[in-house]
Amino acid sequence: MEQEVIVEQKEIVEQEDFVVQMRGISKVYPNGIAANKDVDFLLRRGEIHAIMGENGAGKSTLMKILFGLEQPTSGEILINGQSVAITSPNKAISLGIGMVHQHFMLVPSLTVAENIVLGMAPTTKSRFLIDFKKAVQIAEENAARYNLRIDPNAKVIDIPVGMKQKVEILKALVRGAKILILDEPTAVLTTQETSELFKELIALKEQGFTIIFISHKLKEIKQITDRLTIMRGGRSMGVYNTADISEKEISRLMVGRDVVLKVVKDKSQPTETVLKVRDLEYTNRWNKKMLDKVSFSVRKGEILGIAGVEGNGQRELVEMLFNLNTPDAGTVTVCGESIVNLSQDKIRNRGVSLVPEDRMTYGIADIASIEENVISDRFGNKRFNKGPLFNMREIHHESQNLIVDYRILAKSPKQQVKMLSGGNIQKVVVARELSSMPTLLIADQPTRGIDVGATEFIRNEIVELSRGGTAVLLVSADLNEVIELSDSLIVMYGGKIVGYFEDSSQLDDLTMGEYMLGLKHQTEEEIAKVSYE
Amino acid sequence: MIGDLLLSIFNSDFLYSVIRITAPILFAALGAVIAEKAGVVNIGLEGIMMISALFGVLFGYWTQSWLVGVIGALVIGVLLALLIGFFAFELKTDIILGGIAVNMLGAGGTIFLLDMFTGMRGNTGALVTRELLIPTVDIPLIQSIPYLGQVLSGHSVLTYLAFLLVWLIWVVLYKTPLGLNIRAVGENPNAATSIGVSVQKIQYIAIGLSGAMAGLGGAFMSMYYSQGWNSGMVAGRGFIALAATAMGRGEPVGTMLSSLLFGLAQALRTKVSGMQGVSSYLVSVIPYLVTIIGLVLYAISIKNKLKKRHAVTEGAE
Amino acid sequence: MSDRRLIVFNLLRGVAAISLALAVAAIFIFISSDEPLTALKYLLVGPVVSFKATGNVFNTTSFLTILAAMIPTIFSGLAVCVMFSANQFNLGGEGAIMLGGFVGALLGIYLDLNTGLHQVVCVLAGAVAGGLIMLIPAILKVKLGASEMVTSLMMNYVVMFVILHFLNFVFADRSKGATQTFPFLETARIPEIISNGTKLTWGFVVALIFVVIIALFMYRTKWGYAIRMIGINQSFAQYSGMQVGTVIILSQVIGGMLSGMGGSIEVLGRFSTFLWRELPGYGWLGITIAILAKNNPIFVPFAAFFIAYLNKGCNLMATYSDVPSEMIDIIQAAIFLFFAAEQFLAKYRQRIVVRNAQRDLALQETAASQGGINS
């Protein structure tokens, strides 16, 4: 299979006009993680080329290298046939490469026009002052030429997400980009905004631009791209004509069901309801409704999964459940008691624990030791204190046990957490959150970006916990994970629950995809089934 | 007594002194404004003012030109600020600690340097002659207006420059490409990087400019205000400037207003301390208390604004 | 345990920073002095050596005065360690020290107690005053988000002027030419350990006891733990269920109490009346010391000794040569900059880290199956 791919690529090389050739690219980060392994990436002039892969497959790293944000450990890059060293974004821009990042790189208090001309602002004859009229003119002209509708005088803080993305695209085009890298551009967009974006992208293609489209959404890829490169585990799985490859095949290559980590678990035997969320609403400060009357329940002994493309309200939901943010309306109860606006201390005392999505921000104190990290939720317990002092023997005992039980690979409990690998850092978080024997565990992207061994281990631990009687709410953008691990599953789209599936084992990617992309939704009665008392 | 006080406040001499006292604070505060806009905390303003004040006098004396003295002070200010920048940006010293280090240099290092260069102890004594002071100017038309002329005319060149700089810095920040870059870097450095604007370069420029401002403030102190350099002369003005900036919400005009408030409080102290039965020490507390109160009010207003914003979104449903 | 290599590296790095700072000082001395070698001699060895015609001998008295000079700076260094550990850039140590000294002095003058109890009451009152004054920036920070750095700086001046007011108008001893209070009662004075005029009082012992107490507090109690975790990652601390606001206030109050205690001990031990007419400067010294000690209380006495030694050296240098004593500020600033520079010699550290990481990876591969600890 792999040989075929190589043969195919060689043929292509001899015939085609490539605008970008990345050959044998490898990237090893200082922490030892190899994000790209001998990747070849060839981009034809004037095509829309998808780079597909799951989170952590190495797509972003490859594109960061192309845009000069990272330097490859080895490999060669040719632009228009010329070998180049792309040492900085500046260099990339001068080579005609523009990138639209997943997280917008805009300055909120500046206007749209100011953002577009930032760093290349037109000046009046004095050459000292900005020519604001000219700036607006540049913005408007380009907007018209590429048919990207924007309001040049609005402040970026006040405009909707879809327009922000157009501003990002314009920023690149104004700087003379001929090759556009779009990093998961639809992740933050509504359906209408997405289809609008696609029209605009096709128009750009017709004007001769080359577009790299990073995504893991099959439907979109099929809809808009000419060719696609699939990545998995840092390697390229080959390049294909979009028309010639079936969604099934893409899915197989991308998620690699052949190596998928099957989670072995008995059928769940849920008992009483632990978590009850009712009519939760939240509008963020950019006036986007992130949660719209969200209601569901989680019972003892079951794992309820929340699937969905990122940015559809999952993060906000988790924030509300742990008082990292306050809902506008609605109730959240754990075992019948409201936990809205309770301090984290009190929430934890009610038996709730959280494996946070962003482990470096919430999960750990990076320069503290493993020991100090695993006791952060329990250091006040009587068991760990003797009078005013810590009972160090108990603390050592506890951390030793957790390190062994959760197979944290470390030199000693005193080792700084930041010196560990990603998987082991996550095990530190999981060790703390699971060992407190919670009534309710919220696991938000529990295995994101970590190695296979750690992933498998963590998933098994979660199953074991739930079978021991803990209610588990699993939030995951990893389709495989959410289907494999959950007993039942809800899908979030646009801040709403659009589907409830009582038995996740019956589900397949394609059905899920339709719900996650908002192509399908269930009736309110069907969805209401997840809100048992 | 209150009546006397009121009378003396509306006295033209008093208002004249408010402007005079405000100028050095304003210089440093404007420096803090530029730095803050670029996301840089420069708490070394105090030390920079001290050292620049000394070098202003020295350069002036060596060249027998007040102008060279002022320019020298400015250059020294820039160099010191760049030193803080170098340690903060290249060697990753916490920028607050870098600023504190420069303040140490300002406190004792200046005495050492003065001794090293001139053999004098603690103050510059006879180095500053009348000709070496920053000259004052009478403004042609305004000076003949009664009252207003006495308040606004006859200040030093640098005093006028300080207020002119409020406008100039506003223009730079809001009307020039550099200002656009500075604001972008301060608000979202990633945005700047993504389109090839070097965050570090902009931050160097910003902290350098802030050093230039503090340098001018120092020159003002030694070459006009105190008519010579002495070891306790800056007396926390660099810190007050930070407070004025915070209170002025980091905007040039707001910062000018809060600087004037501090100027007023200090002038009041000078005024009142001459009066019977008034403790000059307690009056001295006023500017610092005003700062704290100002910061508190500012913090409350921000809190309310956030609340209001939330209320608006709720109301919209 | 290859982490040991990192510790050794950090030590060497500290030595390099100090050497570099001293080199800067030497350059200045060579530029400014006619007798640079004499100046350097007094700076570097003068504090502990008497130069006599018969030979050089260890100067015990001088050594003891260095220890005496450490008393207030150990306290202020500890105070900064606690506050900076919580990532609170509170610079109000100066004011808290002066206030603690003043309150201690007043009680020493006007309170009538038995010796022993009297000192304890005075010092505790100084500590309480210092703690209370720090409540202001701390509460403003937690409740309103006002920068503790700016408010604490302003508080220093408020405290100073208010004290000067009381010193001049309420408590002044009019019989004296200079502005000062009446003398402390004999019962309130903190006596020297050995009566020899070095001012090495029992305060030094108390300071060392507090080094141990604060070290225990920071590394062996739940509060110290919470302070350190908040300092490293506040979001993590909050998510873990710590009372972040309370602990932030606590850290600054403790900083204030230590400062106030240092102030009162210094005043009651070194002087016979209260005569500080400006901020004493120990607060800033405390910052230098905490930086040198890397916020670890155990290292504070060593850092305080180093600074006191340099200070003494600079004074001697000023006395016996033509270099002014303010040299100390230049040396301090240079140490400060290099010591706090994360990236100073970072290349070498990176090399060690990479080497360790590579070895770990190899280790990991062999041990991956069984997991657990490999020590």
Q: Rounded to a whole number, what is the distance in Å from the CA of C9 to chain B's nearest CA?
A: 17
- A80 CB within 8 Å of a chain C CB: no
The boundaries of the domain holding residue B165 are: 2-316
Which carries the bigger pLDDT value, residue A435 or residue B266?
A435
| Angle formed at CA A79 by CA A78 and CA A85, multiple of 5 degrees | 60
* Residue scoring higher pLDDT (C51 or C307): C307
Q: Count up the domains in chain A and report the number.
A: 3
**Dist. CA A57–CA A35, nearest whole Å:** 7
CATH number, position B268: 1.10.3470
Specify burial of residue A376 (Cβ count, 10 A radius: 0-12, 13-18, 19+).
Answer: buried
Confidence of residue C362 (pLDDT cuts 50, 70, 90): low
Q: Residue for token digits 């990532």? A: C87
My answer on whether A446 and A429 are in the same domain is no
The reply to whether A60 falls in a domain is: yes
Is the Cβ–Cβ distance between B113 and C333 less than 8 Å?
no
**Residues A93, A46 within the same domain:** yes
| CA-based nearest residue in chain B for residue C156 | B288
Q: What is the CATH number of the domain that holds A494?
A: 3.40.50.300
In this structure, are A327 and A456 located in the same domain?
Answer: yes
CB–CB contacts below 8 A, B to C: 141
Of the ranges A182-196, A228-242, A437-451, which one carries the lowest mean pLDDT score? Answer: A182-196
Residue A307: strand pairing partners = A491
Q: Are residues A228 and A138 in the same domain?
A: yes
Same domain, residue pair A345 and A481: yes
Question: ipTM strictly over 0.90?
Answer: no
Domain boundary among A255, A272, A297: A255
* Contact: B176, A108; criterion CB under 8 Å: no
Top pLDDT among B268 and A298 is at A298
Those chains having 3 or more beta-carbon pairs within 8 angstroms of chain A are B, C
User: Do the Cβ atoms of B180 and A328 come within 8 Å?
Assistant: no
Categorize the per-residue pLDDT at C205 as very low, low, confident or very high, splitting at 50, 70 and 90.
very high
Q: DSSP secondary structure string, A150-173?
A: --TTSBGGGS-HHHHHHHHHHHHH
pLDDT value of position A258:
40
Residue of chain A whose Cα is closest to the Cα of B184: A107
Higher per-residue pLDDT: A47 or A53: A47
Check if A395 contacts C (Cβ < 8 Å): no
Poorest-confidence range of A141-145, C178-182, C239-243? C178-182
d(CA B111, CA B228): 14
C343–chain A Cβ distance below 8 A for any pair = no
Q: What span, in angstroms and rounded, lies between the C-alpha atoms of B96 and A69?
A: 29
A238 and A134, same structural domain?
yes
Mean local confidence (pLDDT), C275-301: 91
Considering the domain boundaries, does residue A73 fall inside one?
Answer: yes
Query: Do residue A391 and residue A516 come from a single domain?
Result: no
**Would the pLDDT of C374 be above 70?**
no
Q: Is B178 on the interface with C (CB under 8 A)?
A: no
Mean pLDDT of C40-55: 85
**Is residue A183 located within the same domain as residue A288?**
no
Contact list in B for residue A173 (CB cut-off 8 A) is none
Q: Which of A418, A437, A456 is the last residue of a domain?
A: A437
CB-based contact, C350 to chain A, within 8 Å: yes
* Closest residue of chain B to A109, computed from CA coordinates: B187
Strand-by-strand arrangement of the A289-299 sheet: A289-299, A273-283, A329-334, A337-338
Instruction: Report chain C residues whose CB lies below 8 A from the CB of A348.
Output: 241
- Nearest-Cα distance to chain C for A403, in Å, is 6
Quick check: C221 contacting A, CB < 8 Å?
yes
Within this chain, do residues A129 and A45 fall inside the same structural domain, yes or no?
A: yes
> Residue A8 domain-assigned?
no
Query: Do A73 and A29 contact (CB within 8 A), yes or no?
Result: no
Contact by Cβ (8 Å): B56, B156? no
**Is A3 inside a domain boundary?**
no
> What's the confidence (pLDDT) of residue A284?
79
The residue count for chain C: 375
Q: From the candidates C28, C88, C336, which should be mutated to test the interface with B, based on the most B CB atoms within 10 A?
A: C336
Q: Does C343 touch chain B (CB under 8 A)?
A: yes
| CB of A215 closer than 8 Å to CB of A183 | no
- Residue A409, chain C, CB below 8 Å: the answer is yes
Chain C positions touching A372 (Cβ under 8 A) are 225, 228-229
- In angstroms, the separation between the Cα of residue A128 and the nearest Cα of chain B is 6
Q: Pick from B91, A415, A28: which is nearest to C347 by CA?
A: B91
Task: Report yes or no on A7 lying in a domain.
Answer: no
pLDDT at A187 over 80: no
| C103-126 tens-digit pLDDT | 999 999 998 888 889 999 999 999
Does the beta carbon of C307 lie under 8 angstroms from any beta carbon of chain B?
Answer: no
Q: Which of A378, A422, A420 is nearest to A399 (CA)?
A: A378
Domain count, chain B: 1
Is a pLDDT exceeding 50 seen at residue A88?
yes
The DSSP output letter for A259 is: G
- Residues, chain A, total? 533
What is the reported pLDDT for C105? 95
- Percent of chain C residues past pLDDT 70, beyond the cut: 90
**A32 vs B285, more confident:** B285
* Residue C2 pLDDT level (bands cut at 50, 70, 90): very low
Backbone angles phi, psi at B149, to 5 degrees: -60, -40
- pLDDT on residue B239: 87
**Mean pLDDT computed over C293-298:** 92
pLDDT of residue A146 exceeding 80, the answer is yes
Is residue A11's pLDDT more than 80?
no
Instruction: For chain B, give the number of residues.
Output: 317
What pLDDT, on the 0 to 100 scale, is given for residue B5?
Answer: 66
**pLDDT value of residue C210:** 97
pLDDT: which is higher, A333 or A247: A333
Strand order in the sheet with A18-28: A34-44, A18-28, A74-79, A82-84
Q: Which residue has the higher pLDDT, B257 or C354?
A: B257
Q: What is the pLDDT of residue B94?
A: 83
pLDDT tens sequence across A253-291: 775 444 455 677 888 888 899 999 999 999 876 667 889
CB contact under 8 A, A411 and C373: yes
Q: Which of A437, A452, A480 is the last residue of a domain?
A: A437
Q: Is the pLDDT of residue A6 over 60?
A: no
- A32 contacts in chain C (CB < 8 Å): 357-358, 360-361
For residue A123, give the nearest of B177, B191, B317 by CB distance: B177
Q: Does A387 touch chain C (CB under 8 A)?
A: no
Segments forming the whole domain that contains residue A241: 17-255
C13, amino acid identity: R
The band of C196, judged by pLDDT with boundaries at 50, 70 and 90, is: confident
Task: Tally A–C CB contacts below 8 A.
Answer: 109
Residues of chain B with confidence (pLDDT) below 50: 309-317
A279 contacts on B by Cβ (under 8 Å): none
**Pairing relationship of beta strands A210-215 and A48-52 according to DSSP bridges:** parallel
When pLDDT is averaged across residues A418-439 and rounded to a whole number, the result is 89
Question: Which one-letter amino acid corresponds to residue B52?
Answer: S
Higher pLDDT, C237 or B6: C237
User: Are A233 and A266 members of one domain?
Assistant: no
Mean pLDDT of chain A: 86
Please answer yes or no on whether B193 and A107 come within 8 Å at the CB atom.
no
Q: Are residues A167 and A63 in the same domain?
A: yes
pLDDT of residue B314: 37
Q: Are residues A371 and A414 in the same domain?
A: yes
User: Taken in order A414, A417, A421, A426, is the CA torsion positive or negative?
Assistant: positive
B98 touches chain C (CB under 8 A): yes
Mutation pick from A88, A125, A130, A174 vs chain B, by most beta carbons of B within 10 Å, is A130
Interface check C373 vs A, CB under 8 A: yes
For residue B177, list chain A residues with Cβ-Cβ distance below 8 A.
119, 121, 123, 130
Instruction: Round to whole Å and give the CA distance between A510 and C272.
Output: 87
Q: For residue C342, which residues of chain B lie inside 8 Å, CB to CB?
A: 91-93
Ordered DSSP codes for C120-171 = HHHHHHHHHHHHHHHHHHHHIIIII---HHHHHHHHHHHHHHHHHHHHHHTS
